[in-house]
């Protein structure tokens, strides 16, 4: 990992810190997506910080999205911060029934500071309409808040560094449904190795959340089979939301 703060940290200490962070992340994940129990925390504490103090998993009152956005904008937890134009926090209805989780910002998102504004975003708007939804009805966020160079896949250490923010967004928005777009968000939320090809269009659970995995819109732009599956799955999502499925 590259960062001024980490320079000079002996390798053993660094890897211990990395392991502790990984364990902490696992515990936080289980608390939110498997068996959350509300308890108290200080509003200034950063995501997962309170947990660190207590040394045990706990859930806490939500952090306002505006405060989280400030934390994200200042984040330097991984080297992706060096290449970003800006962070891409998320956008939409803070009281949404549906949280859509994509992978990571691309070039357009990095420039505009908003998720899904490129070609995949235009297609996402059409897909939302199939479910009877508009962008104003849902909240849209990504697993990563910074653009990976050349739109490469997110790396495990980047996901680990960034996802406390997604967990906090989820806790604050408290959606009924989480729609995971593609493999990265599906595997992260469901903590599974099962791929999107098998899981798409099936209703899953993660703690108090209903999770509905769907192919990533970008994967379907030039693949008519995936496009058909995506459109069917968004139609099913609409039925689920209307209580028809």
Single out the segment in contact with ligand URA by CB under 6 A; choices: 13-21, 105-113, 172-180, 204-212: 105-113
The Cα–Cα gap between 34 and 12 comes to 32
Is 180 an interacting residue with respect to ligand URA (CB under 6 A)? Answer: no
Is 106 an interacting residue with respect to ligand URA (CB under 6 A)? Answer: yes
Is 104 an interacting residue with respect to ligand URA (CB under 6 A)? Answer: yes
Residues 207 to 226 in contact with ligand URA, rule: CB under 6 A: 218
The Cα–Cα gap between 180 and 86 comes to 23
Residues 5 to 64 in contact with ligand URA, rule: CB under 6 A: none
Single out the segment in contact with ligand URA by CB under 6 A; choices: 70-78, 101-109, 125-133, 194-202: 101-109
Is 102 an interacting residue with respect to ligand URA (CB under 6 A)? Answer: yes
Task: Compute the residue count for the chain.
Answer: 245
Helices (H), 192-223: 196-199, 217-220
Cα–Cα distances (Å) from 128 to 16, 89, 98, 99, in that order, read 43, 20, 11, 12
With beta carbons less than 8 A apart as the criterion, state whether 47 and 167 touch. yes
Residues 140 to 169 in contact with ligand URA, rule: CB under 6 A: 142
Cα–Cα distances (Å) from 62 to 35, 122, 169, in that order, read 16, 31, 8
Single out the segment in contact with ligand URA by CB under 6 A; choices: 22-30, 115-123, 129-137, 237-245: 115-123
Q: Which of 103, 110, 158, 233 binds ligand URA (CB under 6 A)?
A: 103
Is 175 an interacting residue with respect to ligand URA (CB under 6 A)? Answer: no
Residue 64 has a CB neighbour count (10 Å cut-off) of 12
Binding site for ligand URA (CB under 6 A): 102-106, 109, 115-116, 120, 142, 218
């Amino acid at each position: 990992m590259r960062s001024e703060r980490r320079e000079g940290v002996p390798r053993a200490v660094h890897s211990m810190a990395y392991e502790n962070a990984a364990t902490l992340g696992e515990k936080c994940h289980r608390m939110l997506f498997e068996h959350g129990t509300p308890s108290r925390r200080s509003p200034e504490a950063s995501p997962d910080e309170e947990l660190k103090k207590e040394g045990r998993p706990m859930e806490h009152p939500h952090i306002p999205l505006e405060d989280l956005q400030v934390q994200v904008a200042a984040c330097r937890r991984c080297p992706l911060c060096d290449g970003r134009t800006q962070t891409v926090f998320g956008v939409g209805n803070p009281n949404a029934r549906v949280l859509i989780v994509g992978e990571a910002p691309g070039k357009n998102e990095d420039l505009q500071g908003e998720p899904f504004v490129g070609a995949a975003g235009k297609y996402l708007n059409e897909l939302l309409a199939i479910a009877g939804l508009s962008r104003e009805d849902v909240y849209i966020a990504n697993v990563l808040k910074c653009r990976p160079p050349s739109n490469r896949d997110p790396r495990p250490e980047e996901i680990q560094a960034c996802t406390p923010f997604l967990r906090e967004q989820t806790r604050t928005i408290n959606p009924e449904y989480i729609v995971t777009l593609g493999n990265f968000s599906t595997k992260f939320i469901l903590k599974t190795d099962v791929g999107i090809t098998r899981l798409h269009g099936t209703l899953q659970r993660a703690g108090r959340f209903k999770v509905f995995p769907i192919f990533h819109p970008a994967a379907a732009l030039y693949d008519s089979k995936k496009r058909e599956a995506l459109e069917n799955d968004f139609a099913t999502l609409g039925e689920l939301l209307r209580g028809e499925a």
